[in-house]
Structure formats: structure tokens, C-alpha cells
A and B are shown apart, each in its own frame.
Chain A
Amino acid sequence: GENVEQHPSTLSVQEGDSAVIKCTYSDSASNYFPWYKQELGKRPQLIIDIRSNVGEKKDQRIAVTLNKTAKHFSLHITETQPEDSAVYFCAACYNQGGKLIFGQGTELSVKP
């Protein structure tokens, strides 16, 4: 069935280090892969997304890579800062209905 697996569930890094979060998806027809950042008690906020016709996308310190053959995509955050601390969710868009299937989330902690 439709499923998105996300790893790790928690990630702790020192300020300035890089952080990598990985996701795999099950439906090869998926063509849109957003990443959301959620601070405690707040709504998920889109930080970057990638479509299936692109292998990599970068926006300042954030980058996402997509490997359609292997059905996995990753979020890379460089030069991490304490304000990057949050829960990050990957998602995959299935079928024509626009439904997003979310991963389990990664709690990122950036220590000053």
C-alpha cells in the first residue's frame, strides 16, 4: 500500500554541522515530494519540494535529492543553526487526488 518511511526518528547535531534525513516511498507513480518543518504546536511549513523530473534542488542551506529508481529522497541541511531545531516530515504525493502521505517525522536538535 501507500507508505513513506523516514529515518532517523531523532537526530542531534552540533551547530554548524550538516544534517541528512532520508525517506523511501512505495508508489512509483508518485511525482511530488515536499518537505515540511513543524515547530512545537505549530502547523507544518513547506521548506522545499522536488518534482519527479528533477534529481536535485537547492535553496540556500537546504537541498533535496531524489532517486526515482531507488524510490528514495533525502533532505540535506548544511551549516545547521539552533533555529533549525524542529520536527521534519517528508511526504509523497500519490494519485490524482493530491493526497500527501507523510513519513513518521525526524526530530532534529541542533546544539549550540
Chain B
Amino acid sequence: EPEVTQTPSHQVTQMGQEVILRCVPISNHLYFYWYRQILGQKVEFLVSFYNNEISEKSEIFDDQFSVERPDGSNFTLKIRSTKLEDSAMYFCASSERINTGELFFGEGSRLTVL
């Protein structure tokens, strides 16, 4: 069964450093998302991406965040200058259809900012 894959599974970084989280969505999917989950809390929407541009972003997704689809397979989330409060599990997701399509989540990348 096809699945969304994410790397790294866990990254520890110093405050102020740049971090890039990588995702390979399911191959025939057209819609891509990043969500985050702070430990013990709910899953929060960060950004959606379609047709090589951001469709929507949340208040969390400020100027420190960016997304990119550099080639036909990878979808990346960059945090330019990490803060302590960026520590969370970051989930990539993709879907085949929009608005009423199932989101498939990756296993997540745990980011720890020290």
C-alpha cells in the first residue's frame, strides 16, 4: 500500500538554527499539507500546497516557515530560525482529491529545539 514517507524521524537542533523536514507524498496525489502536533495536544494545520503554490496557511505559518516542492517527488518544510516553541511532531499529508478526500499522513518528524 502506498504511503507518505518523512525524514528525518527525529531531529534535535539548537535554537536559531535552520531545519528542513522532508516528505515524499503518495505519487498520484496532488494536494500536500503540513500539520504539527505539540506533545499531548491536537493536530494543527500549518499549510496546504497545490499546483506548486501555497493554497492556504495558518497563523502559525509565519515568515520563519516556508514550503517547497523542489522536484517531482519531495515536499519540504523549512523553518528558518527555530524557536523553543517550534518543538513538536510535524506531519506531512497528501490527498488525491480536495475538500472531500482522505488525507494520508506520514509517520511524522519529531523536532526538538534546545
CB of B103 closer than 8 Å to a CB of A: yes
Tell me which of B101, B104, B107 contacts A98 (CB under 8 A): B101
- Given A89-B42, A96-B98, A98-B98, A46:B56 Cβ within 8 A: no
Residues of A within 8 A of B107 (CB): 42-43
Q: What is the CA–CA distance of A36 and B43 in the complex, to the nearest angstrom?
A: 11
Q: Are B44 and A102 closer than 8 Å at their CB atoms?
A: yes
- Please state if B95 and A44 are interface contacts (CB–CB under 8 Å): no
CB-CB < 8 A to A103: which residues of B?
A: 42
Residue B99 is within 8 A (CB to CB) of chain A in the complex: yes
- Residue A12 at the B interface, CB < 8 A? no
Chain A contact residues: helix, strand, loop or mixed: strand
Q: A42-B107, A89-B43, A98-B48 are in contact. Are A31 and B91 (CB under 8 A)?
A: no
* B45-A100 in contact (CB<8A): yes
Bound-state CA distance A44–B41 (Å) is 13
Closest-by-CB residue of A relative to B97 is: A98
Assess whether A32 is in contact with B99, with CB atoms less than 8 Å apart. yes
Besides A43-B105, A93-B99, 18 more A-B contacts (Cβ < 8 Å) are A31-B99, A32-B100, A34-B102, A36-B43, A43-B106, A43-B108, A44-B43, A46-B104, A89-B42, A95-B56, A97-B48, A97-B50, A98-B31, A98-B55, A98-B95, A98-B103, A99-B33, A99-B56
Which B residues lie at the A interface, using CB under 8 A? Answer: 31, 33, 35, 41-45, 48, 50, 55-56, 91, 95, 98-108
